[in-house]
Amino acid sequence: MLDLALVRRDPERVRDSASRRGLDAGFVDRVLELDTRLRALRTNVETLKAEKNALTERIARAPNRAAAAEALRPELKALDERIAAGASEIPALAGEIEQMLGDVPNVLDPRVPVGRSEEDNVVVKQWGTPTSLPFTPKPHWEIGEALGILDFERATALSGSRFTVLRGEGARLSRALINFFLDRAAARSYLEVAPPFLVTRETMWSTGQLSKFSDAMFADASSDLFLIPTAEVPLTALHRGEILSGETLPLRYCAYSPCFRKEAGAAGKDTRGLMRLHQFEKVELVWLTLPERSDEALQKLVADSEAVLAELEIPYRVVDLCSADVGFNAARTFDLETWLPSQGRYREISSCSNCTDFQARRSGIRFRRAPTARPEFVHTLNGSGLPVGRTLTAILENFQEADGSVRVPDALIPYAGFSRIGAPPASPQGNGTT
């Protein structure tokens, strides 16, 4: 949520950010107008209330309270009427402002490149060279199905489209990746958390997942609980409503979780394979920082995410998302994209965002610089470190060999317990089922 004070203080900045995102900035004037009216109303009502409170106190101090109450009754009644009249409009006005403000995305960092689509994202770094294979690379779903480790057909029978079943080494590799990711995060001083995968509407709202633009969530209507679309939600909201002491910052959390997304707006996109499913698994990284440290934290977060990919020897690049592509909560986002040989291009695997005080304001996560200082909002950041399915995709595609087998990256072998999926037929030891 935007700071209303910011809209008042620097409307131009808010307008500019909205139009860079390709949104109509008309809400700024509307909010300012409503706000002016609201404050005038409130001041008026509060003055009347102060008058009433003074009279009430006079009754309390009177030697004969009943008589005093009786004497002041007409005056009090008149005040009550004026208060009620003035107050009647307040909830609607406040609600309208709240709603408008709640639907406005975060103010972009001035450094975010201006653009109209993901085409305008700026590549800031490339690691490794795109894998070139001496044969025609197969897409990961073909590799996985041929190896018997991915089963889309049975998944569809169980749950419909956009699900998969992992089998054998596929399932084990998935489990290995989760442990690998968590261990690497822990080594970089993230505290591992095992959060709930279902959260309340308030929690979902507090991290900015429930705006009017979002219908991406699976939910249980009878209990009003939502399946998390990412562990960012419970991790960021972990300290909701708290006032932290400044010296505990930064707080760094990581969590494994399944993620559930309707992918309603993605019809026709990535309909095959693991890239876009209704359910996937991920290890998420979250920071709560001092405001002046969040920029630096974003760099570290990206580096933490990168380190895992590099250790897995997967060629990737880092892109600075342009104004049209930065999400609702974020002021600035860097995506990591891995090379997919079958598509001959880089595809998103991780998104690392600085949400500044946007989520913190919605969630009421504050801190004090000193024990007697005023509370301020923290800055929150989140990034994938990493998703299992897309990492598996990158491994299958980049490490595929001509015989259809797939090498396991060295770093993962201790976790997986095997070094290759689908041993070459020439090797008599390999029985393919491990």
Partner RNA sequence: GGAGAGGUGGCAGAGUGGUCGAAUGCACUCGCUUGGAAAGCGAGCAGACCCUUUAAAGGUCUCGGGAGUUCGAAUCUCCCCCUCUCCGCCA
Which residues have a catalytic role annotated? 261, 276, 348, 351, 390
Q: Is the peptide bond preceding residue 392 cis, with omega within 30 degrees of 0? A: no
Nearest distance, CB of residue 257 and RNA, angstroms? 16
Tell me which residue of 265, 202, 197 sits closest to 235, measured CA to CA.
197
Based on CB atoms, which residue is closest to RNA, 37 or 278? 37
Q: Which is nearer to RNA, 42 or 167 (CB)?
A: 42
Give the position of tokens 């090498």: 407
* Cβ-proximal residues to 253 (8 Å cutoff; 6+ apart), any chain: 190, 191, 192, 193, 235, 238, 285, 286, 287
Phi first, then psi, for residue 251 (nearest 5°) are -100, 135
Query: In the bound complex, what is the minimum distance in angstroms from residue 217's beta carbon to RNA?
Result: 20
For RNA, the binding residues (CB under 7 A) are: 4-5, 39, 42-43, 46-47, 49-50, 52-57, 59-61, 65-66, 69, 72-73, 76, 80, 243, 366, 371-372, 374-375
C-alpha to C-alpha distances, 2 to 260, 356, 359, nearest whole angstrom:
27, 10, 9
E strands present in 181-250: 191-192, 198-200, 219-220, 225-227, 243-245
- Strands (E) located in 210-265: 219-220, 225-227, 243-245, 251-260
Q: What span, in angstroms and rounded, lies between the C-alpha atoms of 368 and 307?
A: 33
How do 279-289 and 316-320 pair as beta strands?
unpaired
CB of 180 to RNA, least distance (A): 26
Q: Which is nearer to RNA, 262 or 369 (CB)?
A: 369
Rounded to a whole number of angstroms, the minimum distance from the CB of residue 179 to RNA is 22
Nearer to RNA, 45 or 150 (CB): 45
User: Quick one: 416 exposed, middle or buried, by C-beta within 10 A (0-12, 13-18, 19+)?
Assistant: buried
Q: Is the peptide bond before 414 cis (omega within 30 degrees of 0)?
A: no
Phi, psi of 22 (to 5 degrees): 85, 25
Measured from the CB atom, is 125 or 201 closer to RNA? 201
CB of 195 to RNA, least distance (A): 15
For residue 376 the two structure tokens come to 């301020």
DSSP result, 363-422? HT-EEESSTTSPEEE-EEEEEEEEEHHHHHHHHHHHSB-TTS-EEPPGGGHHHHS-SEES
To RNA, the closest distance from the beta carbon of 14 in angstroms equals 16
Which residue, 65 or 116, is less far from RNA as judged by CB? 65
Specify the residue, 269 or 374, whose C-beta has the smaller distance to RNA. 374
**Least Å distance between CB 64 and RNA?**
10
Q: How far apart are CA 387 and CA 326, in angstroms?
A: 19
